[in-house]
Amino acid sequence: MFETAEILPSYLPEATAEQKKAFFQALVCLSGIDGHMGDEEVDYIMKVAKTYNINSFSEISNFSSVDEVIANVKEQINYRPLALELLREMCTLAHVDNVLSDEETLLIGKIGLALGIKIEKIEQISEWVVEHIIWCEQAKLIFEEKK
């Protein structure tokens, strides 16, 4: 598993309960947007969620539509560093199963735009995440790590 948390700060610890809920709902929404919510995606979300005392998937998966999630994110995530962190986590999650679908790309773009993040910045974040994944995979090969 590739992690960005060890090299970048997180603004989620200082977020309100409503902001955390919106943050994780966006991740849950992304994980199922392509019609298949894989175990890798759920595991990734819950690993991150548990560090913020969210212990149940049902706590963050109770929404009725993509539009509701986007509106909630737009209303709650009003701190730019937290918005950028959300996009970073969404881009990372989108690659967890090694399949980046058009639906995932579109949702990341819609949420980014709802947060006032320009497409160019969203693309930069996505490219950075991909480069980070490549570096982590190369490190495993170079240092002969099993997992």
Tokens of 3: 């992690």
Architecture per CATH, 12-142: Orthogonal Bundle (1.10)
Return the pLDDT at 36: 86
Return the pLDDT at 2: 56
Using H for helix, E for strand and C for coil, what is the string for 84-112?
Answer: HHHHHHHHHHHHHCCCCCHHHHHHHHHHH
Return the pLDDT at 8: 85
Return the pLDDT at 147: 63
Can you tell me whether residue 79 is helix, strand or coil?
Answer: coil
Rounded (to 5) percent helix, strand, coil in the chain:
65, 0, 35
Dihedral over Cα of 124, 116, 81, 75: its sign:
negative
Question: Which pLDDT tens digits describe the chain residue by residue (147 residues)?
Answer: 555 556 788 999 999 999 999 999 999 999 999 998 999 999 999 998 998 888 888 989 999 999 999 999 999 999 999 999 999 999 999 999 888 999 999 999 999 999 999 999 999 999 999 999 999 899 999 999 876
From CA 86, how far away is CA 23, in angstroms rounded? 6
Write down the domain spans for the chain: 12-142
Residues 6 or more apart whose CB falls under 8 angstroms from that of 11 comprise 79, 81, 82, 85
Q: What is the dihedral of CA 54, 35, 86, 59, to 10 degrees?
A: -20
Can you give the pTM of this predicted structure?
0.91
